[in-house]
Amino acid sequence: MMQHNTTIFIHPLADVQSKNIGDDTKIWQFTIVLPQAIIGKNCNINAHTFIENDVVIGNNVTVKCGVYLFDGMRIDDDVFIGPNATFVNDNHVRSKQYPETFLVTTLKKNASIGANATILGGVTIGENAMIGAGSVVTKDVPANELWVGNPARFVRKI
């Protein structure tokens, strides 16, 4: 388990309850990180973000402003998540009706998610894949591919 140390920057206006944060990570203002969340080394968690308990973030990850990471998110090393990207962990949501377990959404190493993209629950974005801004991803995206649109579709190999 990683412990807080002097190389972690946590803005005084952030509410960071987790002690599982790697060296050289920066967490900016108006961010909430719940106690069981795990954040790797050298990450940049921008302002106005929320990270729930059952979230694992690797090393060298950038999470831009306005991103909420709910239970079931698995983010590998070197991932970029653009501003206001949206992640879903229950594809059949109803008020006050909760699934027994939440869907796991995985972003593989070096994936990039464009601004305002929506990623449905249970989806895996492959290594080095890119999701265009505003896209809606409804199924797994293979490694080394660019997908865009609503619903997101294959455009080309990267």
Q: Where are the domains of the chain?
A: 1-89+102-158
The pair of three-digit structure tokens given for residue 67, joined into one six-digit string: 């991103």
Amino acid at 89: N
CA 72, CA 54: separation in Å to the nearest integer?
6
CA 101, CA 7: separation in Å to the nearest integer?
35
Q: What amino acid positions are annotated as catalytic residues? A: 92
CA 73, CA 87: separation in Å to the nearest integer?
8
Q: What is the pTM of this model?
A: 0.94
User: Which pLDDT belongs to residue 6?
Assistant: 62
Name residue, tokens 């797994």. Answer: 140
Sites in the chain below the pLDDT cut of 50: 1-2, 4-5
User: Which pLDDT belongs to residue 151?
Assistant: 98
What are the two backbone dihedrals, phi and then psi, of residue 123, each rounded to the nearest 5 degrees? -90, 145
The separation between CA 50 and the C-alpha centre of its own chain, rounded to angstroms, equals 10
- 1-89+102-158 folds as UDP N-Acetylglucosamine Acyltransferase; domain 1 (2.160.10)
Do 17 and 36 touch, CB atoms closer than 8 A? no
Which residues, in sequence order, are CB contacts of 16 under 8 Å at separation 6+? 10, 27, 31, 32, 33
Which residues, in sequence order, are CB contacts of 54 under 8 Å at separation 6+? 36, 37, 71, 72, 73, 102
